[in-house]
Structure 1
Amino acid sequence: MGLTNNNTRCVLVLGGSFDPIHLGHVALASCLTRRLQPDELRLIPAGQPWQKSALTATSEQRVSMLKLAFEDWKDCPITIDEQEIQRAEQQQSSYTIDTLKQLRAECGADTSIIFAMGADQLQNLHTWHQWRDLFELANLCVAARPGYSLKIVSQEVAKEWHDRLTSAEDMRHQPNGTTMIEPALAVDVSATQLRTELKQHNPTMRLLVPHKVLDYIQQHSIY
């Protein structure tokens, strides 16, 4: 961990397949932005995630949907970072560790990089490529999700996680190495279920997807 600096620049990182982007993603970004007051929200759409099956929407479509979902966002500057898509296009495997290395090289040693994860991802963290090294590059923040236990199954991950726990205020000023759990998020949207509902033209989907994104999905017959 670096030394605390009250003037530390802070970048909040939200990655995902975004297939499609839904209101759960937007709520997560909004909740963590309020808590952490970052200088920038960095959205990183996945290329071809090695732990998931093939994506339905193309990379171009997913980036377009992200832009539409955050078009009216005013909480902080936003960057859509396509580094994982670019690696996939070059047929390179893409791991979170690679993404954070590139981000750290871009942002410099003193910037607080906060990588946001879902509770489901926390349970699988022990399977991630070089997961221990993530703490050398970023802070890790998990948002609670209804129906998902925050009891960490892997004892190794649990020890690392609990030894590094800190507050939102302290995390915002630490370049890397700390962990935090945000318990306030009560939105639960399953992208898998959402794609199924979209295929069936279920009208309740209007409540789960930003309206501009839903219009785009329908115009391009994505799901």
Structure 2
Amino acid sequence: MALHLVYGGTFDPIHFGHLAIACAARDALDCTVRLMPAGDPPHRAPPGADGATRAAMVALAIEGVQGLVLDHRELERQGRSYTVDTLAELRDELGPSKPLAWLVGADSLLGLPGWHRWRDLFALAHLVVAERPGSALDAQLLAGLADALQDRWTRQAADLQSQPAGRVLRLHQPLSHVSATAVRARLAAGASTADCLPPRVAAFIHEKGLYGAAARAPL
């Protein structure tokens, strides 16, 4: 049974690091990756661009990329974007036996105890954890998190196909030091973003004057 894999995030803006993670997950798990921009994320400051704008940038970034699709689900919901609500909604639609997974960065996994009803996530979906520079997955985890993950780790992608939820897979992929925070800082400073933004996304940002970028051709 094909895995239903969702990659949630603010994508503020989407950059090459996001795309590398999505493509690595697509290839490792042999499935379509649904990129889902968050509407009103409760665990961080409000995004610099509104939901429709961030979704438009995701659409530009993944156009023509096989196996990556845009999912507007969280943008269409009113109120805060709690992952547990999104996964519960998806589980209701997919049924109890369909494999469902949520793709997150290692930094997000380490902060999982701060998420709304975080322990309920494991009954709803698998977690696929993308390694990130500076995120110490091998270091000492918070006690509650370590206990929750202890018997869930797997190295086998097939384990995510054979059961609907509850496993945690570590996704090995080329590590990128690109971050949305750094990209926004470069844009505001008028610095080049050629090594971190897809050209169509960079052109869109400059056209709209997003993140303090001058309305001119991108460098």
Give the TM-score normalised by structure 2.
Answer: 0.90
CA contact (8 A) 1:97 1:131 kept: yes
Aligned to 1:191: 180
Aligned to 2:26: 33
Aligned to 2:215: none
Quote the Cα distance in structure 1 between the aligned partners of 2:43 and 2:141. Answer: 18
Aligned to 1:218: 206
CA contact (8 A) 2:126 2:166 kept: yes
List alignment gaps of at least 5 residues for structure 1: 1-7
Quote the Cα distance in structure 2 between the aligned partners of 1:33 and 1:152. Answer: 29
Quote the Cα distance in structure 1 between the aligned partners of 2:20 and 2:140. Answer: 24
* Cα deviation 1:120-146 (Å, max 9, x = unaligned): 111111111111110111001111111
| 1:37 positional shift | 0.6
1:80 paired to 2:70 = yes
1:105 paired to 2:95 = no
CA contact (8 A) 2:43 2:115 kept: no
CA contact (8 A) 1:10 1:112 kept: yes
CA contact (8 A) 2:62 2:69 kept: no
Query: What percent of counterpart residues are identical?
Result: 38
Residue of structure 2 aligned with 1:54, choices 46, 56, 61: 46
SS of match in other structure, 1:120 = helix
Give the TM-score normalised by structure 1.
Answer: 0.89
CA contact (8 A) 2:6 2:102 kept: yes
CA contact (8 A) 1:84 1:99 kept: yes
Residue of structure 1 aligned with 2:109, choices 86, 99, 122: 122
Quote the Cα distance in structure 1 between the aligned partners of 2:180 and 2:173. Answer: 21
Give the counterpart letter for 1:181 in structure 2. R
| 1:152 positional shift | 5.0
Give the counterpart letter for 1:188 in structure 2. H
Aligned to 1:5: none
CA contact (8 A) 2:106 2:129 kept: yes
CA contact (8 A) 2:52 2:75 kept: no
SS of match in other structure, 1:163 = coil
| 1:34 positional shift | 0.8
| 1:159 positional shift | 2.0
CA contact (8 A) 1:22 1:208 kept: yes
| 1:43 positional shift | 1.4
List alignment gaps of at least 5 residues for structure 2: 212-219
Pair 1:79–1:106, CA change in 2 (3 A): farther
Q: Structure 1: which 4+ aligned runs deviate by more than 6 Å? A: none
Aligned to 1:141: 128
Q: Which has the higher contact order (CA 8 A, sep 6+)?
A: 1
Aligned residue pairs, count: 209
| 1:111 positional shift | 1.6
Q: More deviation in 148-157 or 127-136?
A: 148-157
* Cα deviation 1:77-121 (Å, max 9, x = unaligned): x4422222222xx3x222100010111122222221111111111
SS of match in other structure, 1:114 = strand
Aligned to 2:217: none
Aligned to 1:3: none
